[in-house]
Amino acid sequence: MTPSAYLDAHSADMLALLRRLVRLATVNPPGCDYDAITSLLVRELTARGLRARRFPIPKALAKKYLPPEQLAFPRYNVLGTWRVPGATRTIHFNAHYDVVPVGGEWRHGNPFSGALDGGWIYGRGTADMKGSIASLLLALEALRATRTRPRLNIEVSFTADEETDSVLGAGWLVQHAPIHPDFAIVMEGGERGTVCCGHNGVVWLEVTVHGRAAHGSRPERGINALEKMAALVRALDDYRRMLARRTLVTPSGATMHPTINVGGVFAQGPGAKINTVPALARFTIDRRVLAIETVATAERELHAFLAAAARRIPQCRITVEKISDNHPCFTKPGGCRRSFLP
């Protein structure tokens, strides 16, 4: 039997495994069920003949990078290796196992049930990216079961925290795990059969607008932070227009622009009440960074824009804090050596 015939014959197994993975609600933040899913993934890799290890993130390191309310949720990364006799190079497959929290209405019951409807699985993380994990595990199984020897050593990592900042997930792996890849494939979900050569970076900022509290019956005595924030958010339209003029054409011919998303999180200050002038308003900015930019220049540019916009708004005082960033990357499509392709 060929590996591809094996895949066809066992697609039901893959779907069953995918539904098992979806039922583990690895929601991040805060980082639920990481223990359960990484234990399962180590077992699945071992069952396919890989040497598999689970690396718990040391408490001291977690303390350094996680907010205090997440310290009760330990982080783990999983590494599997398959040394192939005679192979001199190594390919690394990476997937993250965490998923974003669920928002809004879910039309298919519990988002972690893995419900089937009309031939589709509906569940948080099915595409991003537990589907990739299940596919990879079946692919490894197909190679073993059909005694197909890969031309490259294989490394597999399943990492935490991609939906936040990856520092204790893929970031930890690159810095601390015994990996030696010559090639790497990030099996990020949602791209169907497309192979992408890179990804955007991000800069996440939190903008706080400082006003002055007053009684709601005498609003002229206060400085309304919400109104100042609204003016600042409107001013960001100019920045958005500027970004729309900046383009990157991908190897597949798609034109991309940097983007900003405003107010994924927004909040008022403490003690807010209907009859008070809000003294504080806060919102986040999610700036996506193209591979032709850098995180540092994008951050500087956005800071400068916000400062200039705030200066133009009377009595608008702001402070800006960085929540996190992540670098963009790009590899030329011709960078892969042909001799290692099937």
Q: Closest CB to Zn ion among 163 and 299?
A: 163
SS3 content of the chain, % helix, strand, coil (to 5): 35, 25, 40
At its nearest, how many Å lie between Zn ion and the CB of residue 78?
16
Please, which residue, 165 or 188, has the CB nearer to Zn ion?
188
What's the closest the beta carbon of residue 100 comes to Zn ion, in angstroms?
9
C-beta closer to Zn ion: residue 187 or 248: 187
**In which residue are the tokens 């948080």 written?**
124
Least distance between Zn ion and beta carbon 96 (Å): 6
- For residues 188 and 132, the answer to whether their CB atoms sit within 8 Å is yes
Contacts with Zn ion by CB under 5 A lie at: 128-129, 188
Closest approach of Zn ion to the CB of residue 41, in Å: 16
Closest to Zn ion by CB, 315 or 324? 324
Q: How far is CA 213 from CA 180, 255, 276, 281, 314, in A?
A: 57, 46, 7, 11, 16
Nearer to Zn ion by C-beta: 188 or 286? Answer: 188
Residue 204: C-alpha distances to residues 4, 28, 121, 240, 303 (Å):
42, 16, 32, 15, 12
Report the phi/psi class of residue 237: left, alpha or beta, with left for phi > 0 and alpha for psi in -120 to 50: alpha
Comparing every residue's Cβ against Zn ion, the nearest one is 128
Closest CB 174 distance from Zn ion, rounded Å: 17
Bridge partners for 289 per DSSP:
201
